[in-house]
Chains A and B, each alone.
Chain A
Amino acid sequence: MTSLFERYQTTAGTYDELFERAGVPRAGFDRVLSSLGASSADEFAKCQALAEMAMLNQGVTFSVYADNRGTEKVFPFDLVPRIVAAPDWNKLELGLVQRVLALGCFLDDVYGKQQILADNVIPRELVLGAKEYMPIVHGVRPAGGVRMHIAGIDLIRDPAGAFRVLEDNVRTPSGVSYVVENRLATKRIFPHLFEQASVHRVDHYPSRLGETLRSVSPRDPDESTVVVLTPGAFNSAYFEHSFLARQMGIELVEAPDLFVDKDRVFMRTTRGPMPVDVIYRRTDEAFLDPEVFRPDSMLGVPGLMRAWAAGNVTLANAPGNGVADDKAIYPFVPDMIRYYLSEEPLLDQVPTYVCLRDDDRNYVVDHLSELVVKAVDESGGYGMLMGPQATRAQLDDFRSRIIANPRKYIAQPRIELSTCPTWDAERRCMEPRRVDLRPYILTSREGPWVLPGGLTRVALVQGSYVVNSSQGGGSKDTWVQKEVS
């Protein structure tokens, strides 16, 4: 019988997630791949269309700001799963926990004694000069003692097959709803495949999130009111906000639904004011509290920061976390791990040039066409230069921007992102496409927990390295295999 993967070619100098080389599946994946490959191109195309239709009907969408009318789009979903073998995952899990612990220590330190700055492990001006460093948070110990309740760490896999951290997201990482929805779709469409594969579940994430949030309440967790705060139905991640609120069985609120009285937060209900203890906020910091951030703005909840500083309400994640996932701080995370935990980092990251340093900047400016340059305060694939693919004009533009404002830029060599077989609807066959991985880590009062799975984003355009949903990326279900007993 011919297989859909029969003609699948891996890319030279690139790690493939499922195949060792053309025709040879990685150890432990052969059974899944042979049954997945057994369907015809027609059948597979039909399944793919079915999955997309289900997502549209369920409104599993994200909003595109640039569009006027049809403002919602389905996040393209590719049915070929990305599989992670148990030993690889176990290693990864330990590394993620270690990293999250160190970042947490760093935040407590920066908004406390600032010992790491006093010891010159990280340049003081780099930290205190970061746009996301918030002086008003200094001295505040949040209720529950946790600042980074939800973290999403972006990973890529290098040609040798090693996971490397590309970026930390410790403010309001999004995407976890797709992890759960993608799994539902895969299970519905390939039930038989699933039974063979022995994969860790992911659908308990919302209940773990609920427990995490209750655990850090200023009051008795069982008596606490937890809410999700959304900017509203027009936000690009609105689906996820409502999804999480629904799955946790708690209220989804917008800022005008809340008010602060005597440093306590209340929500306006049909039966009058009701106290709120924990807010999982999915709004930007700048729109949390107009008293503090944007006096000119009507958005936000006046007095929210006072209530938080008084320890009367828990904000998840805590304000001010942006200083820890600043792209210019990233190169120092391995040093943080050594400094706070006295351990060697378990996860590699990508070598990074900090343009603020003279030597680094000179190198970057001279080697622009080999590097990936990123603005430290932008995300979503914006403010980025892909040196090897850039035009001369783009290179010149970035060169002058870097010289004018070096604090704003970092540069990294381009890593050959790993590939994963992906359905190409036009060619009607499996093609290698670049992927990354965002696992989610929840930190409760008891410590971190890693969801066994995560969001695999895939660059659907041939040859592309950009996986962001705003720029032609899609997603895949991520299967973490259970240990063979």
Chain B
Amino acid sequence: MISRVADSCFWFGRYLERTEATARLLYVTRNLAMDAELEAKQCWLPVVIVSGEEPRFMARLGPQLSNERVGDVVEFYMSWDENNLSSIRSSVEAARENARSIREVISLEVWEAINEMYLWLGSEVARDEYHSARYSFYKRLRQGCQLISGLLRSTMLHELPLNFIWLGMLLERGSQTARVVDVHHHALVLHERTHQVIETALWLSLLRVCSAYEPFTKKNRGRATGDAVAAFLLFEGLFPKSIAYCIREARSRFAVIRPPDRTDLPGGLTQARLQALDRWMRERAEDVSLGDIHELLTHVVDEVAAICTGLSREVLGQAFVASAMESAQ
């Protein structure tokens, strides 16, 4: 498989996952802001922090933030802002642009679905829906992404390209979960004496952000303590949005891309790193306390970033570009 194509597959998967994650995060936060007795800022600013956009956001829009306006400002920034590379609009455009450059690799159904979502988001219809029916706006985005995930699985050959797409989705999802848990955890630590009701509301909303509410209650009989929620989102091996699941699956996707016994193929360092992170997660699952969570999540986010960088260099052709530049000089 052409390295450049693999790169586009990988990023198509990442942007698609990011679109869905952002749409879900905004929708859930909106719900939370409506019924929890929390300050609006306390609900909304974590959204910006999770996306890594806080410095830029505060520099541009910080001064105009009041508790009345913060929701609208954050939602607009995270949905539509063209200069925000994490906004839904940017993510959909990037997903579609990557898909367009691998048009011959993805199936017609997948292409149509991403293209229709892109065209819809650029239309007046989507703007109107955003203003008049925010819930269905986010729902449509989520469903669009879910439709594409399903089509990927059911209309494409289960071979290299699809594995690269999945790898991108899994790594993005794992680090999204890590960030979202970290931010919530942070908010709770800051307000150590937070009222029990509010704390529970926050943990439940965190579950909803990860569409984990029902799976969690099935596994824990409805008892939402901080420790239980965190452990579920971090380590539950059967839940497809948990960090442990994402890392383990990413590892097995990569083992298809580069079978571990094929030491002649590029990708050895990436493989070693993925294996190490997977093992590390399993060891940590044995005993975890809420106090260590921040350190653990930081490690996951940093490692995933390092794995992605290594992957681009070893497998996705970035090293070729570098060597071509050198030989051209």
- Interface contact A257-B3, CB-CB below 8 Å: yes
CB distance from B202 to the nearest CB of A (A): 41
Q: Which B residues are CB-close (under 8 A) to A57? A: 112, 115-116, 119
- Interface contact B104-A268, CB-CB below 8 Å: no
Q: Which B residues are CB-close (under 8 A) to A253? A: 2
Mark contacts of A238-263 with chain B using CB atoms, 8 A cut-off: 1 yes-contact digit, 0 otherwise: 11001101100001111011000000
For this complex, 5 residue pairs linking A to B, each with C-beta atoms less than 8 Å apart, are: A56-B119, A58-B115, A252-B103, A268-B317, A272-B264
The verdict on B127 contacting chain A, using a C-beta distance below 8 Å, is no
**Count of chain A residues near B, Cβ 8 A:** 26
The verdict on A298 contacting chain B, using a C-beta distance below 8 Å, is yes
Q: Which B residues are CB-close (under 8 A) to A68? A: none
CB distance from B315 to the nearest CB of A (A): 5
Report the Cα distance A160→B317, complex, angstroms: 58
The verdict on B187 contacting chain A, using a C-beta distance below 8 Å, is no
The verdict on A233 contacting chain B, using a C-beta distance below 8 Å, is yes
Report the Cα distance A239→B3, complex, angstroms: 21
Report the Cα distance A256→B322, complex, angstroms: 11
- Interface contact B108-A256, CB-CB below 8 Å: no
- Interface contact B104-A272, CB-CB below 8 Å: no
The verdict on B266 contacting chain A, using a C-beta distance below 8 Å, is yes
- Interface contact A268-B320, CB-CB below 8 Å: yes
- Interface contact B100-A233, CB-CB below 8 Å: yes
Q: Which B residues are CB-close (under 8 A) to A59? A: 100, 103, 111-112, 115
Q: Which A residues are CB-close (under 8 A) to B6? A: 270
Report the Cα distance A59→B160, complex, angstroms: 24
- Interface contact B2-A58, CB-CB below 8 Å: no
Q: Which B residues are CB-close (under 8 A) to A245? A: 104
Report the Cα distance A228→B105, complex, angstroms: 13
Of the candidates B3, B116, B160, which one forms a contact with A268 in the assembled complex, judged by CB atoms under 8 Å apart?
B3
- Interface contact A269-B3, CB-CB below 8 Å: yes
Q: Which A residues are CB-close (under 8 A) to B119? A: 56-57
- Interface contact A58-B315, CB-CB below 8 Å: no
Q: Which A residues are CB-close (under 8 A) to B264? A: 272
- Interface contact A58-B111, CB-CB below 8 Å: yes
- Interface contact B4-A257, CB-CB below 8 Å: yes
The verdict on B1 contacting chain A, using a C-beta distance below 8 Å, is yes
CB distance from B83 to the nearest CB of A (A): 15
Interface residues of A (CB under 8 A from B): 56-59, 228, 232-233, 238-239, 242-243, 245-246, 251-254, 256-257, 267-272, 298
- Do A233 and B104 form a contact, CB below 8 Å, given A267-B2, A269-B2? no
Report the Cα distance A254→B321, complex, angstroms: 13
- Interface contact B103-A246, CB-CB below 8 Å: yes
Contacts A59-B112, A242-B104, A270-B258 supplied; 20 other A-B pairs, CB < 8 Å: A57-B112, A58-B111, A232-B101, A242-B103, A245-B104, A251-B5, A252-B5, A253-B2, A256-B321, A257-B3, A268-B3, A268-B317, A269-B1, A270-B2, A270-B266, A271-B1, A271-B265, A271-B266, A272-B264, A272-B265
Q: List the 5 shortest-distance A-B pairs measured between CB atoms, nearest first.
A: A242-B103, A246-B104, A245-B104, A233-B101, A242-B104
The verdict on B197 contacting chain A, using a C-beta distance below 8 Å, is no
- Which secondary structure dominates where chain B touches chain A? helix
- Interface contact B266-A272, CB-CB below 8 Å: yes
Q: Which residue of chain B is the closest to A254 with respect to CB atoms? A: B4
Report the Cα distance A253→B324, complex, angstroms: 16
CB distance from B294 to the nearest CB of A (A): 36
Q: Which B residues are CB-close (under 8 A) to A251? A: 2, 5, 104
| Chain B 91-109 residues near chain A, CB threshold 8 A | 97, 100-101, 103-104, 108
Report the Cα distance A232→B100, complex, angstroms: 10
Report the Cα distance A271→B328, complex, angstroms: 24
Mark contacts of B43-86 with chain A using CB atoms, 8 A cut-off: 1 yes-contact digit, 0 otherwise: 00000000000000000000000000000000000000000000
Q: Which A residues are CB-close (under 8 A) to B97? A: 233
Q: Which residue of chain A is the closest to B314 with respect to CB atoms? A: A270
- Interface contact A252-B266, CB-CB below 8 Å: no
- Interface contact B1-A270, CB-CB below 8 Å: yes
Report the Cα distance A239→B104, complex, angstroms: 10
Q: Which A residues are CB-close (under 8 A) to B265? A: 271-272
Q: Which B residues are CB-close (under 8 A) to A270? A: 1-3, 6, 160, 164, 257-258, 266-267, 315-316
Report the Cα distance A232→B4, complex, angstroms: 11
Report the Cα distance A270→B1, complex, angstroms: 6
Report the Cα distance A246→B317, complex, angstroms: 22
- Interface contact B4-A58, CB-CB below 8 Å: no
Q: Which A residues are CB-close (under 8 A) to B267? A: 270
- Interface contact B108-A58, CB-CB below 8 Å: yes
Report the Cα distance A232→B112, complex, angstroms: 20
| Chain B 112-159 residues near chain A, CB threshold 8 A | 112, 115-116, 119
Which of A232, A245, A246, A272 has the most CB atoms of chain B within a 10 A radius of its CB?
A246
Q: Which A residues are CB-close (under 8 A) to B112? A: 57-59
CB distance from B103 to the nearest CB of A (A): 4
Report the Cα distance A269→B258, complex, angstroms: 12
- Interface contact A256-B324, CB-CB below 8 Å: yes
CB distance from A416 to the nearest CB of B (A): 40
- Interface contact B2-A257, CB-CB below 8 Å: yes
Which of B3, B97, B115, B265 has the most CB atoms of chain A within a 10 A radius of its CB?
B3
Q: Which B residues are CB-close (under 8 A) to A272? A: 264-266
Which of B97, B100, B258, B267 has the most CB atoms of chain A within a 10 A radius of its CB?
B100
Report the Cα distance A252→B5, complex, angstroms: 9
Q: Which residue of chain B is the closest to A232 with respect to CB atoms? A: B101
Report the Cα distance A59→B3, complex, angstroms: 24
CB distance from A304 to the nearest CB of B (A): 14
| Chain B 240-273 residues near chain A, CB threshold 8 A | 257-258, 264-267
